Structure 1
Amino acid sequence: MRQKELKTVVTFHTVTEAIAMETACMKEEIPGRIIPVPREIKAGCGLSWAMPADWAGNIGQWMEKKDLSWESVGEYFI
Structure 2
Amino acid sequence: MRQKELKSVVTFHTVTEAIAMETACMKENIPGRIIPVPREIKAGCGLSWSMPVSWEGDLSQWMEEKGLKWESIGEYFI
Range class of TM-score, shorter chain: over 0.9
Query: Number of residues paired by the alignment?
Result: 78
SS class of match (1:56):
coil
Unaligned runs of 5+ in 2: none
Counterpart code for 2:40: E
**RMSD between aligned alpha carbons?**
0.3
1:51-70, aligned counterparts within 5 Å?
Answer: 51-70=51-70
Task: Name the TM-score, length of structure 2 as normaliser.
Answer: 0.99
Corresponding residue number in structure 2 for 1:48? 48
Q: 2-side partners of 1:24 and 1:55: how far apart?
A: 15
Q: CA deviation at 1:75?
A: 0.1
* Residue 54 (structure 1) shift: 1.0
Kindly, what percent of the aligned residue pairs are identical? 83
Instruction: Look up the equivalent residue of 1:11 and give its one-letter code.
Output: T
Query: What letter is aligned with 1:68?
Result: L
- Counterpart of 2:71 in structure 1 is 71
Partner SS for 1:42: coil
